[in-house]
């Protein structure tokens, strides 16, 4: 919208400019002494970035508003969306910022520039989830209320020549500084109940300006060519910009944490990861198979250790098949680096499962062995075959032998409790039921939010096994009848801890309270030499919104519906937890029934290492 | 169906009905309603001697327990009622021993406990004597109890500052009015975090979480499956409960057992908030004892139109039994005490003869 | 909830069907115990939980028993008696329609009301959400007659309650309604094209079942009274939906949220499934241990859905598997096995019995070594030693089964009912307390067998069980047999002519009656019209059929000279009825075609064709140019021949006129 308004306001602005000029004059003396050299430079950077912005804006105003008003509108709306969230997300670090403001005044300006960067970062992130944001209007008009002044300032830039802009912008920043100096006292005031302190509002303004800046930056490519404003200036501006960029890079890490600490549990800060968006990745150099796999991982289309491992191996085979050694490169080096690259991408999509990383290790191993002199195709053929056999032995055969081992352990009229869905467990139970010598019943324990147990329940009940289904908090209700607990595992850690779907630990805990034997089924390719003693260090965090929907009535829980708008409320959706060895009676591997503690032994004899 | 029973009045019926249909929910409002009912009984119904009144009350209690076995509170109120009738009667009955009576009841001395039986055998009052001002005394006493009930939550909450220190990570389960008040009345300057297990399928944990968050307490909601995973960082578990059994065990929302056990496993203290009227002199013999556990709707666990819904059994039990050894401390309106001490409090609150209403 | 206006409900305590015979010959179906509670109390409970304040129970069969039950209930403070005022209206009605008319006559309904059947088992929360929806509908559209409540199909099983409907996506207005027939699976549905022309968005549902819940406006009752052919809910709905503009009424559809349960006990199969659902707590809070409508806990809930009263005595070494309800003072002997069964008060089961999928009412005694599977056994029955009763045998109250008897899929009742629809010889006397009803039933609903089969995990003879369940005409048929035929056949054969045939017969009947009793022709017209709406007959068809009917009247057929006969008819019906229909050119053409068809059918009439036309022409029913033009494009030779003279004559006429 603004873009359109601008033209109308042009005249009005000229008048205001005059006013502002003399306002600035009397503002100057107040500031004079405070400004130290280094912040001057900062000012410079800011100023120029503003200038650039302005230039862009001009460009936009030239072609976009007349030709495609809808787009313009969209753009403006886009720029608005984040602001809604802004006032939450910034609110947190505002206080901190304020402190600095009064403590070391001189640093202020720099702080501000960081603030800018931060905000810019923020908006970039938030723009993605902007879709969710409701009541844009609200955000919009309170924005209009609050930042009318600075906006106008900005707009003035758009239709005055660059030189003027420079100093004026220079001044604008000063104004902002002046603004926030008197603010600091009433920011310190205790009552936090007030929805938006001035400081926050300023943060908001900053954010919005930043948001605009961001937008323009995006506009940059299309518009530059046609921008009327002189290009050589542009170049130097770009130079400057890069400078700011790298400063931003410095600060980014800290900031992004500070700013988005909202709705993140302190204990798990280290686990929150940016969801990588694919529109960037698609045009990248990755092999399509990898991209596909990545997407599958990220959207939980492929879940469960084994299937993930499978998918990975397949993808790798395709990758290798299509791989051609670039000139003047050694085959296996090139291939390895190629794989490395794509694996990193996959890791971004979703942290690699232990099984996958083991498989990766193996692949690397066999590749590194392929340094013989025969042609690439032969090598590739060999590698692919080896991968094939790996998949077959490590997953297929292992599963078979495990299911046989477990079948021996199942006795008549057993009541077997299992948790969630595990391909291995399902297979085992179904096979031993089909074999027909044993009659047993099954209790499937399940938990929100994913209800993986439903799949298990269906597939077992279809076989005619008599099943009982309870939620995990009712485990103690059924446990007294249970004779065996059969659990799947995500990984088996070197210190004998079992890493598995969250909830596994407490089931085995209750089981051991009732003295029910707990068997964990785990193929050796899931063994990992990582050691870990709690579920915090290494874990994954699922989508918190999954907790909000009630899968039975397909409605969201009314209390949690708008958790994002409640600052102190945080749903946490952990993926894994780890079970200490003392709660596990035995681990069933394709090699043997073992106590958890003898994982190291296996690890030593594992072929893949 | 229901044996026609002179004590089964329409008013009582409507009370039970309202509780059953869910017009009256929450132990607090239920006990409130029950007290009011008794108040009206005192005034309206036909009784001359304490004995008659007691029979009325006892019958009422029996009917209630028949109708709503899960609402232990009703029984407790009834017992309490009987107790005060006895007291008032005794007071009137033996004015000369009034002094002794009182100081006994105040300083409920061990000696009294011991001598109680003998005492009874000596002079077992038949409560037959007529006292004109018994009614008034009872009414006043009843109102006192009502006030006590009103204050029970606040009294609990006042003790919050003694139990929560700053920078704590507290885990709780589901929703409990007392827990809510308790946590909210922790002095503001003490910053602490709360982790709430949502307690599926009802997920009333969400309610607690939102209300805490709205009063600026950092609260995290976790699915019930993450209790163990979280526990080793938690440094206090605070639970509400549905009722406390005579052995100091709990009948609490399902999942409470898991919480308590996990807490034990990481030796985290488990604190249970229990307003006095939740203590019931009932023992749990086995898990399938008469309506110990109320099993809810299957729909809430498994949708009816799942392909296999006809072949599988699905349960959603409402309660868990938490054995006393997993509980570190009870906090009642009177103060803190350990599970071992419950029997003592019971002895003070109720008369041993009234423990079993349905005899 | 909303205190301002009290919520009323009407419960029809009759399903006007045979489906619970022979129980229904001795007692009202509403009092048939379902999991040891008279069926109607489920509805009452539900209504009460929905904070309904006034309930009228319309009962025709054994109303006194129903009234008695209600009276006792109120004395005993049953749940529904609290805060809900229940009254029984006894009236001789043979259909839901009659019941509604009765109510309309009594004029006790003041506002919107909930209409349910006694056999609807649900835990739906109608208040406030659905009631509100209804009120909104009324606001939007004054003509809202009814908001019907459907819910998603649960199992693959066909119960005869499934419907296919088309609604306007936005307004949820019902545009098309058809009941899916239980037996034939592969179906194609014919949706009238107008639906899609008139509405922007139409949503078709084929996954709904009709649990017979509806919220009616006050306007619903008059509608019933005006069209006295609306007997069942379906006829009502169809009637309204087929021509809204004519009825000036509309029906809306609401769906229950998927986490709410609703089903209809339409026959013994449904009885079985729903009992299981209740025991499996799908209908929570209407579950035994919550005490359906009793303010008293009667059962303990144990694992595997075993509900047992405290007073139950179970011998130590007898095994109670799953889904068992044992009421007060049930006594089970050694070595007995119980699974998926319900035992009423004071039942006694001897040693070494096997009871599976059986429903046994109060005070029944089962002696040692009996084997009961898939059967329903009434109250105070005595079954002596070593009997085997299976495959959907139904034994009514007070029967006595002698030793070593074996019954499979038979209906046994203690005395021969006096009402005459049972012929004496259709009973085989086993002893003076047991008469076996002989009936060669064709096995129905073969598909539902399988469906039920796979839900019975432990027994394989479920299939037989179904087959021998007494064949029950669907309830919507029961009141109105001809209606069903159409309803059932419309799936495979085209609906139109099927309906039309019935329509024709109807018209003939009414005309005949009218002619014989010389009753007021206006009524005849009304009758014809209403049946027309019932079968959705186009106007031109009506004309056609009316004429056809006239010629097919016995008077005409029996009369030596058909034309003379027709004249008689005409003298009476002519200027009123026939003129009423045969006006306008199209109508005349219809008329002509009709006559031709009649002639083709009856040789007696054939030669008289010309005379007939001439007669009608003189009567100014037909005009010459119509006849002529019709004659032009007719392609039946004999007609051409027969009418040749007539036509030429006519032409001359017209020419002479024109000159």
- Check whether A7 has a pLDDT greater than 90: no
Q: Is A552 on the interface with C (CB under 8 A)?
A: yes
Residues A390-410: what's their mean pLDDT? Answer: 91
Query: Chain B: residue nearest A537 by CA?
Result: B229
List every span in chain C annotated with CATH 2.160.10.10: 300-443
pLDDT in tens, C10-20: 998 887 777 78
pLDDT digits (tens, 9 = 90+) for B11-41: 888 898 888 888 888 888 999 999 999 988 8
Distance, CA of A350 to CA of A373 (rounded, Å):
37
Domain total in chain B? 2
Predicted local confidence at residue A482, as pLDDT: 94
Of the candidates A413, A423, A468, the residue with the CA atom closest to the CA atom of residue A446: A468
Query: Mean pLDDT over residues A170-175, rounded?
Result: 43
What pLDDT is stored for residue B311 in this prediction?
A: 86
The whole-angstrom separation of Cα C31 and Cα C41 is 8
Q: Domain boundary residue among B105, B131, B150?
A: B150
Tokens representing C554 are 């016995």
Distance CA C427, CA C213 (A): 38
Q: Is the pLDDT confidence value at A522 over 50? A: yes
**Interchain contact C83–B (C-beta under 8 A):** yes
Q: Which single residue is written with the structure tokens 């800060």? A: A269
**C-beta atoms of C154 and B297 within 8 A:** no
Are residues C258 and A466, on separate chains, in Cβ contact within 8 Å? no
Mean pLDDT, range C210-237, rounded to an integer = 84
Point out the residue among A466, A481, A553 whose CB comes nearest to the CB of C257.
A553
**Mean pLDDT score of chain C, rounded to an integer?**
78
Both structure tokens of A557? 């829980």
pLDDT tens per residue, range A457-504:
999 999 999 999 999 999 999 999 899 999 999 999 988 899 999 999
Q: B310: distance to nearest CA of chain C, Å?
A: 6
Are B240 and B309 in the same domain?
Answer: yes
Cis peptide before C128 (omega within 30 of 0): yes
The reported pLDDT for the residue numbered B113 is: 57
Q: Is B299 on the interface with C (CB under 8 A)?
A: yes
Q: Does pLDDT of A399 surpass 80?
A: yes
Residues B103 and B167 in one domain: no
Query: What is the pLDDT of chain A when averaged over all its residues?
Result: 69
- Please give the residue of chain C at the shortest CA–CA distance from B22: C49
- Of B16, B63, B299, which has the smallest distance from its Cβ to C284's Cβ? B299
DSSP structure string for C251-293? EEEEE--TTS-EEE--SHHHHHHHHHHHHTTTTTTSSGGG-TT
Whether the bond between C22 and the residue before it is cis, its omega within 30 degrees of 0, is yes
pLDDT tens per residue, range B260-284: 999 999 999 999 999 988 998 888 7
Q: What are residue A549's DSSP bridge partners?
A: A556
Which 3 state secondary structure label does DSSP give C229? coil
Q: B304: which chain C residues are within 8 Å (Cβ-Cβ)?
A: 154, 258-259, 261, 277, 282
d(CA A147, CA A201): 8
Check C296 against B2: CB less than 8 A apart. yes
Contact A554 C258 (CB under 8 A): yes
Lowest-pLDDT range of A30-39, B149-158, B311-320, C372-381? A30-39
Q: Beta strand A518-521 with B313-315: parallel, antiparallel or unpaired?
A: unpaired
Higher pLDDT, B137 or B7: B137
Q: How confident is the model at residue A275 (pLDDT cuts 50, 70, 90)?
A: low
Q: Return the higher-pLDDT residue of C577 and A521.
A: A521
CA angle B148, B149, B155 (to 5 degrees): 70
User: Mutate which of A267, A474, A560 to test chain B, going by most B C-beta atoms within 10 A?
Assistant: A474
Domain A288-396 of CATH type 1.20.120.420 = yes
Q: Give the residue from A565, A566, A578 showing the smallest Cα distance to A537.
A: A578
Say if residue A79's pLDDT is above 50: no
B162-165 long-range contacts (CB < 8 A, ≥24 apart) are: B163/B236, B163/B238, B163/B271, B163/B331, B164/B190, B164/B192, B164/B236, B165/B190, B165/B192
What is the maximal distance between C-alpha atoms in chain A? 97
> With an 8 Å Cβ cutoff, are C82 and B17 in contact?
yes
Contact B176, B240 (CB under 8 A): yes
Residue C238 has pLDDT above 90, yes or no: no
Instruction: Tell me: do B29 and B86 sit in the same domain.
Output: yes
Which segment of A251-265, C7-21, C89-103, C333-347 scores lowest on mean pLDDT? A251-265
CATH 3.90.550.10 range(s) for chain C read: 8-264
pLDDT tens for C524-575 read: 777 777 777 777 777 777 777 777 777 777 777 777 777 777 777 777 776 6
A441 vs C contacts (CB less than 8 Å): none
CA A370 – CA A365 distance, rounded (Å): 9
Q: Considering the domain boundaries, does residue B358 fall inside one? A: no
Q: Does any domain span residue B359?
A: no
B99-127 average pLDDT score: 54
Distance, C-alpha C106 to centroid of its chain: 24
More confident site: A184 or C547: C547
Secondary structure of residue C77 in the 3-state scheme: coil
| C297/B68 touch (CB, cutoff 8 Å), yes or no | yes
pLDDT category of residue A138 using cuts at 50, 70 and 90: very low
Return the higher-pLDDT residue of A223 and B94.
Answer: B94
| Structure confidence at residue A214 (pLDDT) | 53
The answer to whether C334 and C315 are in contact (CB under 8 A) is yes
Which chain C residue's Cα is nearest to B307?
C155
β partners of residue C372 = C355, C389
Query: Is the pLDDT assigned to residue C59 strictly greater than 80?
Result: yes
- The CATH architecture that domain C485-658 belongs to is Alpha Horseshoe (1.25)
Would you place residue C414 in the very low, low, confident or very high pLDDT band (cuts 50, 70, 90)? confident
Whether the ω angle into residue B271 lies within 30 degrees of 0, i.e. cis, is no
Which residue in the set B21, B293, B298 is minimally distant from C282, CB to CB?
Answer: B298
pLDDT digits (tens, 9 = 90+) for C344-388: 999 999 999 999 999 999 999 999 999 999 899 999 999 999 999
pLDDT recorded at residue A252: 39
- Whether the link from the prior residue into A449 is cis, omega within 30° of 0, is yes
Number of residue pairs across A and C with CB atoms under 8 Å? 10
B159 and B34 in a common domain: no
Percentage of chain B exceeding pLDDT 70: 87
Say yes or no: B161 and B128 in one domain.
Answer: no
B21 and B167 belong to one structural domain: no
- Choosing from B101, B134, B150, the residue where a domain stops is B150
Q: Above 50 in pLDDT, residue B163?
A: yes
| Range in A224-233, A305-314, B71-80 the model is least confident about | A224-233
| Interface contact B60, partner A, CB < 8 A | no
Domain that residue B242 falls in? 155-349
Q: Does B69 touch chain C (CB under 8 A)?
A: yes
Higher-scoring residue by pLDDT: C264, A419: A419
Q: Which CATH number goes with the domain that contains B110?
A: 1.20.120.420
Q: What is the CA C333 to chain-centroid distance, rounded?
A: 43
pLDDT in the model for residue A488: 93
pLDDT of residue A225: 38
CATH 1.25.40.180 placement within chain C: 485-658
pLDDT of residue B284: 78
Question: CA A317: distance to chain centroid?
Answer: 28
Class of the domain covering C8-264: alpha beta
Residue B326: both structure tokens together: 């997993």
**Does the structure show a pLDDT above 90 at B195?**
yes
Q: Which residues pair with B273 in a beta bridge?
A: B240, B331
Contact across the interface for A553 and C303, Cβ inside 8 Å: no
Neighbours of B137 (CB within 10 A): 17
Tokens matching residue C117 = 């059947």
DSSP state of C127: I
Which of B171, B195, B229 has the most A C-beta neighbours within 10 Å, making it the best mutation to test the interface with A? B229
In terms of pLDDT, which residue wins out, C539 or A195? C539
0.80 exceeded by the pTM?
no
B88, B116, B150: which is the final residue of a domain? B150
> Can you tell me the distance from the alpha carbon of C413 to that of C179, in angstroms, rounded to the nearest whole number?
33
Provide mean pLDDT across the span C200-215.
87
Interface with chain A: mutation pick from C281, C457, C459, highest number of A CBs within 10 Å: C457
pLDDT of residue A607: 54
Give the residue-averaged pLDDT of B171-190.
92
Of A337-341, A378-382, C291-295, the one with minimum mean pLDDT is C291-295
Domain C300-443 has CATH 1.10.3720.10: no
Q: Residues of A with CB below 8 A from C457's CB?
A: 464, 466
B162 interfaces chain C, CB cutoff of 8 Å: no
Q: What's the pLDDT score for residue C172?
A: 87
Query: Which pLDDT tens digit goes with each residue over B208-219?
Result: 999 999 999 999
Q: So what's the pLDDT on residue B221?
A: 92
The C-alpha atoms of residue A530 and residue A66 are separated, in whole angstroms, by: 61
The answer on pLDDT for A419 being more than 90 is yes
Per-residue confidence (pLDDT) for residue A400, from 0 to 100 = 92
Strand C354-360 with C371-377, pairing: parallel
Burial C207-246 (b: 16+ CB within 10 A, else e): ebbbbbbbbbbebbbebbeebebbbbbbbbbbbbbbebee
* Residue B279 at interface with chain C, using a CB cutoff of 8 Å: no
Q: Which residue has the tokens 């009905």?
A: B17
Check residue B126 and give its pLDDT.
73
Chain C: give the shortest CA distance to residue B129, in Å: 34
Percent pLDDT > 90 in chain C is: 11
**Contacts with B63 from chain C: Cβ below 8 Å:** 295-296
As a whole number of angstroms, the distance between CA B221 and CA B209 comes to: 7
**B190 and B93 in a common domain:** no
- The CATH number of the domain holding residue B233 is 3.40.50.10470
If you average pLDDT over residues A262-281, what whole number do you get? 68
A13 and A158 Cβ atoms separated by less than 8 Å? no
| pLDDT recorded at residue A515 | 95
Domain definitions of chain A by residue range: 2-83+90-259, 288-396, 410-540+575-605
Higher pLDDT, C165 or A223: C165
Is residue B108's pLDDT more than 70?
Answer: no
Question: Do residue C284 and residue B297 have CB atoms under 8 angstroms apart?
Answer: yes
Same domain, B263 and B323: yes
Cα distance between residue A399 and residue A310, in whole Å: 13
A410-540+575-605 belongs to CATH 3.20.20.10: no
Report phi then psi at B106, rounded to 5.
-70, -70
| Sequence-separated (6 or more) residues with CB below 8 Å from residue C20 | C29, C32, C267, C268
Q: Locate A476 and state its tokens.
A: 């103690």
Q: Cβ of A88 under 8 Å from any chain B Cβ?
A: no
- In percent, the amount of chain A with pLDDT more than 70 equals 54
């Amino acid at each position: 919208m603004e873009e359109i308004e601008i033209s109308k306001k042009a005249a009005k602005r000229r008048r205001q400019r005059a006013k502002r000029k003399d306002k600035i004059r009397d503002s100057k003396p107040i500031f004079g002494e405070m400004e130290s050299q280094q912040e001057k430079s900062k000012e410079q950077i800011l100023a120029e970035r503003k200038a650039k912005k302005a230039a862009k804006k001009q460009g936009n105003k030239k072609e976009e508003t007349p030709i495609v008003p809808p787009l313009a509108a969209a753009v403006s709306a886009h720029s608005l969306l984040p602001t809604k969230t802004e006032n939450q997300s910034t609110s947190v670090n505002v206080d901190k910022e304020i402190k600095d403001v009064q403590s070391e005044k001189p640093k202020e300006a720099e702080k501000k520039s960081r603030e800018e960067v931060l905000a810019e970062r923020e908006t970039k992130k938030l723009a993605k989830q902007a879709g969710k944001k409701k009541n844009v209007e609200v955000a919009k008009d309170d924005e209009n209320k609050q930042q009318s002044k600075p906006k106008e300032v900005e707009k003035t830039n758009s239709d005055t020549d660059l030189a003027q802009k420079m100093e004026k912008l220079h001044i604008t920043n000063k104004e902002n500084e002046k603004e926030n100096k008197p603010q600091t006292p009433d920011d310190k005031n205790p009552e936090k109940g007030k929805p938006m302190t001035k400081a926050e509002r300023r943060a908001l303004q900053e954010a919005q300006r930043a948001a605009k800046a961001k937008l323009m930056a995006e506009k940059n490519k299309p518009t530059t060519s046609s921008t009327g404003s002189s290009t050589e200036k542009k170049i130097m501006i770009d130079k400057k910009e890069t400078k700011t960029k790298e400063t931003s890079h410095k600060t980014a890490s800290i900031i992004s944490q500070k700013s988005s600490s909202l709705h993140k549990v302190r204990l798990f800060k280290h686990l929150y990861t940016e969801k990588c968006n694919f529109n960037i990745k698609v045009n990248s150099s990755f092999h399509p198979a990898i991209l596909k796999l990545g997407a599958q991982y990220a959207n939980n289309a492929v879940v469960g250790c084994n299937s993930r491992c499978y998918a990975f191996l397949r993808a790798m085979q395709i990758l290798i098949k299509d791989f051609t050694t670039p000139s003047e490169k050694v085959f296996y080096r090139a291939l390895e680096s190629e794989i490395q690259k794509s694996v990193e991408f996959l890791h971004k999509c979703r942290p690699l499962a232990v099984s996958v990383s083991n498989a990766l290790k193996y692949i690397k191993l066999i590749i590194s062995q392929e340094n013989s002199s025969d042609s690439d195709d032969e090598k590739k053929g060999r590698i692919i075959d080896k991968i094939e056999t790996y998949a077959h032995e490590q997953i297929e055969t292992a599963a078979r032998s495990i299911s046989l081992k477990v079948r021996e352990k199942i006795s008549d009229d057993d009541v077997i409790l299992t948790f969630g869905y595990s391909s291995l467990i399902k297979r085992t139970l179904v096979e031993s039921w089909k074999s027909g010598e044993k009659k047993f019943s099954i209790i499937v324990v399940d938990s929100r939010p994913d209800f993986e147990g439903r799949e298990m329940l269906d597939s077992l009940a279809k076989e005619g096994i008599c099943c009982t289904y309870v939620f995990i908090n009712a485990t103690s209700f059924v446990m007294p009848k249970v004779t065996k607990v059969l659990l799947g595992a995500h990984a088996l850690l070197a210190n004998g801890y079992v890493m598995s779907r969250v909830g596994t630990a407490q089931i085995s805990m209750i089981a051991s309270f009732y003295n029910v034997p707990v068997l964990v089924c785990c193929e050796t390719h899931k063994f990992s030499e990582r050691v870990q003693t709690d579920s915090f260090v290494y874990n994954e965090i699922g989508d918190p919104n999954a907790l909000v929907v009630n899968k039975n009535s397909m409605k969201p829980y009314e209390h949690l519906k708008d958790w994002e708008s409640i600052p102190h409320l945080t749903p946490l959706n952990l993926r894994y937890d780890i079970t200490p060895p003392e709660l596990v009676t035995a681990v069933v591997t394709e090699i043997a029934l073992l106590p958890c503690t003898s994982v190291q032994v296996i690890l030593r004899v594992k072929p893949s290492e | 169906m229901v044996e026609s029973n002179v004590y089964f009045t329409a008013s009582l019926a409507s009370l039970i009905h309202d509780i059953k249909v869910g017009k009256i929910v929450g132990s607090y409002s239920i006990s409130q309603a029950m007290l009011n009912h008794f108040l009206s009984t005192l005034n309206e119904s036909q009784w001359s001697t304490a004995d008659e009144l007691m029979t009325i009350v006892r019958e009422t209690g029996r009917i209630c327990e028949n109708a709503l076995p899960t609402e232990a509170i009703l029984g407790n109120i009834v017992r309490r009622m009987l107790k005060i009738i006895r007291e008032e009667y005794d007071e009137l009955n033996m004015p000369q021993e009034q002094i002794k009576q009182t100081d006994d009841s105040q300083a409920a001395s061990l000696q009294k406990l011991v001598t109680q039986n003998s005492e009874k055998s000596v002079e077992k009052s038949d409560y037959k004597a007529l006292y004109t001002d018994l009614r008034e005394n009872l009414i006043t006493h009843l109102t006192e109890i009502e006030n006590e009930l009103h204050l029970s939550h606040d009294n609990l909450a006042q003790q919050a500052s003694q139990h929560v220190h700053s920078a704590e990570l507290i885990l709780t389960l589901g929703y409990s009015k007392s827990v809510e008040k308790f946590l909210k009345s922790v002095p503001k300057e003490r910053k602490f975090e709360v982790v709430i297990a949502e307690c599926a399928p009802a997920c009333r944990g969400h309610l607690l979480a939102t209300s805490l968050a709205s009063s600026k307490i950092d609260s995290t909601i976790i699915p019930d499956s993450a209790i163990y995973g979280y526990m080793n960082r938690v440094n206090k578990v605070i639970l509400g409960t549905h009722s406390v059994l005579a052995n100091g065990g709990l009948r609490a929302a399902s999942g409470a057992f898991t919480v308590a056990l996990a807490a034990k496993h990481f030796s985290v203290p488990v604190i249970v908030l229990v307003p006095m009227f939740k203590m019931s002199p009932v023992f749990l013999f086995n898990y399938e004892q008469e309506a110990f556990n109320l099993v809810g709707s299957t729909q809430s666990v498994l949708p009816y139109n799942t392909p296999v819904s006809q072949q599988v059994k699905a349960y959603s039990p409402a309660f868990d039994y938490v054995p006393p050894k997993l509980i570190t401390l009870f906090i009642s309106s009177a103060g803190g005490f350990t599970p071992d001490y419950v029997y003592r409090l019971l002895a003070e609150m109720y008369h041993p003869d009234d423990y079993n209403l349905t005899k | 909830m909303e205190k301002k206006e009290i919520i009323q409900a009407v419960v029809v305590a009759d399903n006007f069907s045979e489906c619970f015979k022979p129980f229904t010959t001795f007692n009202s179906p509403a009092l048939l115990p379902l999991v040891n509670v008279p069926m109607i109390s489920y509805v009452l409970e539900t209504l009460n939980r929905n904070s309904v304040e006034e309930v009228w129970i319309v009962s025709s069969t054994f109303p006194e028993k129903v009234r008695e039950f209600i009276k006792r209930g109120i004395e005993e403070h049953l749940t529904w008696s609290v805060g809900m005022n229940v009254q029984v209206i006894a009236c001789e009605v043979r259909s839901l329609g009659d019941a509604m008319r009765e109510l309309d006559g009594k004029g006790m309904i003041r506002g919107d009301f909930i209409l349910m059947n006694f056999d609807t088992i649900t835990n739906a929360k109608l208040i406030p959400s659905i009631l509100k929806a209804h009120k909104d509908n009324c606001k939007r559209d004054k003509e809202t007659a009814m908001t019907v409540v459907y819910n998603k199909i649960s199992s693959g099983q066909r119960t005869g309650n499934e419907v296919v409907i088309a609604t306007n996506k936005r307004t949820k207005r019902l545009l098309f309604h058809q009941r899916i027939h239980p037996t034939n699976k592969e179906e194609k549905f014919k949706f009238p094209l107008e639906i899609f022309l008139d509405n922007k968005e139409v949503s078709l549902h084929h996954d709904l079942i009709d649990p017979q819940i509806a919220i009616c406006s006050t306007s619903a009752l008059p509608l019933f009274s005006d069209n006295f052919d609306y007997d069942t809910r379906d006829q009502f709905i169809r009637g309204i939906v087929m021509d809204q503009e004519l009825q000036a009424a509309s029906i809306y559809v609401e769906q229950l949220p998927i986490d709410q349960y609703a089903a209809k006990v339409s026959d013994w199969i449904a009885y079985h499934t729903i009992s299981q659902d209740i025991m499996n707590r799908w209908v929570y809070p209407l579950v035994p241990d919550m005490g359906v409508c009793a303010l008293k806990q009667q059962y303990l809930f144990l694992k595997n859905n075993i509900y047992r009263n405290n007073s139950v005595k179970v011998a130590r070494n007898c095994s109670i598997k799953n889904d068992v309800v044992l009421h007060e003072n049930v006594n089970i002997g050694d070595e007995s096995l119980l699974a998926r069964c319900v035992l009423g008060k004071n039942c006694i089961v001897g040693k070494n019995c096997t009871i599976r999928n059986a429903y046994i009412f109060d005070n029944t005694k089962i002696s040692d070594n009996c084997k009961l599977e898939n059967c329903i056994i009434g109250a105070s029955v005595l079954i002596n030693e070593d009997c085997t009763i299976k495959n959907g045998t139904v034994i009514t109250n007070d029967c006595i089964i002698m030793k070593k008897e074996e019954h499979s899929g038979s209906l046994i009742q203690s005395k021969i009912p006096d009402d005459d629809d049972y012929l004496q010889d259709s009973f085989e006397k086993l002893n003076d307390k047991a008469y076996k009803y002989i009936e060669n039933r064709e096995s129905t609903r073969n598909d539902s067998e399988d469906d039920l089969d796979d839900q019975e995990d432990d027994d394989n003879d479920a299939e037989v069980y179904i087959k021998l369940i007494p064949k029950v005409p669907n309830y919507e048929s029961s009141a109105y047999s001809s209606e069903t035929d159409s309803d059932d056949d419309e799936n495979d054969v085209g609906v139109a002519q099927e309906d039309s045939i019935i329509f024709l017969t109807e018209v003939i009947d009414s005309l005949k009656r009218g002619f014989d009793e010389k009753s007021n022709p206006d009524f005849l017209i009304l009758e014809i019209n209403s049946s027309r709406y019932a079968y959705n007959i186009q106007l031109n068809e009506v004309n056609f059929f009316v004429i056809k009917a006239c010629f097919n009247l016995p008077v005409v057929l029996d009369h030596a000279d058909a034309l003379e006969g027709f004249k008689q008819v005409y003298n009476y019906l002519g200027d009123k009825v026939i003129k009423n229909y045969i006006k306008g050119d199209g109508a005349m053409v219809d008329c002509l075609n009709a006559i031709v068809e009649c002639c083709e059918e009856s040789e007696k009439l054939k030669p008289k064709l010309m005379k007939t036309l001439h007669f009608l022409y003189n009567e100014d029913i037909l005009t010459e140019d119509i006849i002529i033009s019709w004659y032009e494009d007719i392609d039946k030779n004999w007609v051409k021949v027969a009418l040749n003279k007539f036509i030429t004559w006519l032409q001359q006429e017209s020419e002479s006129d024109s000159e």
